[in-house]
Amino acid sequence: MTWTSDELMTVNAARALAGARTCFVGIGLPSAAANLARRTIEPGLVLIYESGTLGSKPSRLPLSIGDGELADTADAVVSVPEIFNYWLQAGRIDVGFLGAAQVDRFANVNTTVIDRGPGRPEGRLPGAGGAPEIAASCGKVLLVLRHSTRNLVGRLDFVTTVGHGDGPGSRERLGLPGAGPVAVITDLGIMRPDPETAELTLTEVHPGVTPEQAVAATGWPLAVAADLRVTDQPTEAELTALRRLTQGAPDA
Amino acid sequence: MAEIRSLRDAVAELVHSGDTVAMEGFTHLIPFAAAHEVIRQGVTDLTLVRMTPDVIYDQLIGMGAARKLVFSWGGNPGVGSLHRFRDAVENGWPRPLELDEHSHAGMANRYVAGASRLPFAVLRGYRGSDLPSRSETISTVVCPFTGEELAAVAAINPDVTVIHAQRADRNGNVQLWGLVGIQKEAALAASRVLVTVEEIVDDLTPTPGAVVLPSWAVDAVAVAPNGAHPSYAAGYTVRDNDFYQAWDAISRDRDTFLGWMRETVLVAS
């Protein structure tokens, strides 16, 4: 089977959920990946949406976090204060899975405003949503976004959500309980924080992608791991499940 | 006790120019019919409060009804930007829009404090974020027991909260279920409460997970069938995802937007 670079990204994002028990799911790419994980690598994965659903099992990809099917198929539906206070802030959720507009070398995230230069008004992005507290309180965080110098920038115009702050020890100093971002999955490969410096380093490229391509598409001098690996090709089962999800076909 | 009234009369009595208004419903049960009545009555200079402004506030903002927005995520869910919101913030069209911007956890706790009639709420939030630098309603407080520094967010107490629910009984007791979101907190935080419902029934049959707002916590109930469209009321209607996608093209251009509002909202009653 052939595949697109977006499919490669989503399949690898789903694989990153192996071993996770509970996942707080952002809408868009994270939702596609988390739903794919439930159909492939982690069938028991509990999906939690900020609209207040615990254990959603949608048969197709929801357009929004408010689609009725997320509530209809959930183990429990709770209020918005409850989802953020009792479930997220209390540290009950293993993985937070987020999309992003801009990410910097320490996996901090901007989803608020874009600086468009002198004399021009700031470009408006949607805002924080649940991200600052999801990234603070989940056991660990996965980020998924397309790889470009526009998205992966040397300096954020605004810090909406803290990843690893300004480097090693930042999260501890700020009192952020979770481990923070452990992987940034893109359509070119996967970056992970270096254990020493906390700086995002290219550790995997997807089949057919060169490390030079990834470096060129990154807005800071991207370090490449000495033992750079190539991600496994998507399997037929993964691609079939993903296409069924995105085409809206119900589970067999 | 809630009075059962026409939507027109209820809006005229409860929603005034200059008010702080929360129209809540976290993706579900969004009170579009009531917002359209607010637009038709020319109510303006509002401070609009809502976690997810959604298409409902894109419409109010684009029609110039708002001077300020208090929110935590301003997009068209699953589709993209809210173009009227962006045009107001970036270009001041049709008028400048002041912002007070939070995270979802912060907004949820602001409503909880408001419903509890406390001055603020505490949470572990905003740590390391630039958000507090742009908001006067985010600060910190030190826990008197442990010494931990926590985020403090000011209570929200709207002049009026407007929500949509599945049904009410003839005494004005209101019942809603499905994604119950932040509506109970938003209603109890407000000085006045207007609820639109799909229908009035003789008896509120118990429903799993349902929230009941007693009549004495509500000022007015108005019947507005399909009043959440293009959002939805679980058990009655489904979310009109096609409309949310169509809104992107309708709202992108100022004239197209104004034409749509004139034909679809202003002429209707």
Sequence spans of domains, chain A:
5-246
pLDDT at A252: 35
Helix A236-246 vs helix A5-15: crossing angle, to nearest 10: 100
Contact A62, A31 (CB under 8 A): yes
Name the 3-class secondary structure at B108.
helix
Closest residue to B109, CB basis, from A81, A112, A127:
A81
Q: What's the CA gap between B208 and B211, in Å, rounded? A: 9
Encoded amino acid at A244, one letter: R
Catalytic: which of A50, A133, A199, A238? A50
Looking at the complex, does the CB of residue B5 fall below 8 Å from at least one CB of chain A?
A: no
Which pairing describes strands B149-154 and B138-142: parallel, antiparallel, or unpaired? antiparallel
Q: What's the CA gap between B53 and B72, in Å, rounded? A: 8
Closest residue to A64, CB basis, from B78, B109, B129:
B78
Written as six digits, the tokens of B105 are 């956890």
pLDDT at A249: 45
Closest C-alpha among A10, A68, A62 to residue A248: A62
For residue B82, how far is the Cα from the chain centroid? 15
Q: What's the CA gap between B138 and B126, in Å, rounded? A: 9
pLDDT at A246: 86
Encoded amino acid at B55, one letter: V
Name the 3-class secondary structure at B175.
strand
Which pairing describes strands A46-49 and A53-54: parallel, antiparallel, or unpaired? antiparallel
Contacts with A71 from chain B: Cβ below 8 Å: 28, 178-179, 234
Contacts with A174 from chain B: Cβ below 8 Å: 127-128
pLDDT at A250: 44
Q: How many CB pairs under 8 A join A and B?
A: 169
- Annotation: CATH topology of A5-246: Glutaconate Coenzyme A-transferase (3.40.1080)
Closest C-alpha among B48, B182, B197, B15 to residue B107: B182
Contact B161, B129 (CB under 8 A): no
Angle at A200 between CA A198 and CA A203, to 5 degrees: 115
List residues bridging with A185 in a β-sheet.
Answer: A144, A190
Q: What's the CA gap between A137 and B124, in Å, rounded? A: 9
Encoded amino acid at A93, one letter: I
pLDDT at B268: 66
For residue A148, how far is the Cα from the chain centroid? 16
Do A124 and B124 count as a contact with CB atoms less than 8 A apart? no
Helix B241-252 vs helix B254-261: crossing angle, to nearest 10: 120
Instruction: Kindly give the parts of chain B with pLDDT less than 50.
Output: none
Note the residue count of chain B. Answer: 269
Q: Enter the ipTM.
A: 0.96
pLDDT at B172: 98
- Annotation: CATH topology of B3-102+158-266: Glutaconate Coenzyme A-transferase (3.40.1080)
Encoded amino acid at A149, one letter: T
Q: What's the CA gap between A50 and A31, in Å, rounded? A: 12
- A50 catalytic, yes or no? yes
The domain locations on chain B are: 3-102+158-266, 117-154
Closest residue to A176, CB basis, from B90, B127, B180:
B127
Closest C-alpha among B194, B229, B133 to residue B4: B194
Walking along chain A (252 residues) 10 residues at a time, the average pLDDT comes out as 92 97 91 96 96 94 85 95 98 96 97 94 96 97 97 97 97 96 98 98 97 98 98 96 78 38
Q: What's the CA gap between B81 and B26, in Å, rounded? A: 17
Closest residue to B131, CB basis, from A28, A62, A128:
A128
| Residue B112 φ then ψ, to 5° | -60, -45
Do B104 and A128 count as a contact with CB atoms less than 8 A apart? yes
Closest C-alpha among A205, A21, A88 to residue B124: A88
- CB within 8 A of A119, min separation 6: which ones? none
Contacts with B28 from chain A: Cβ below 8 Å: 51, 66, 68, 71
Chain A nearest-CA distance from B12, in A, is 30
Looking at the complex, does the CB of residue B70 fall below 8 Å from at least one CB of chain A?
A: no
Contacts with A66 from chain B: Cβ below 8 Å: 26-28, 77, 179, 231, 239
Do B181 and A51 count as a contact with CB atoms less than 8 A apart? yes
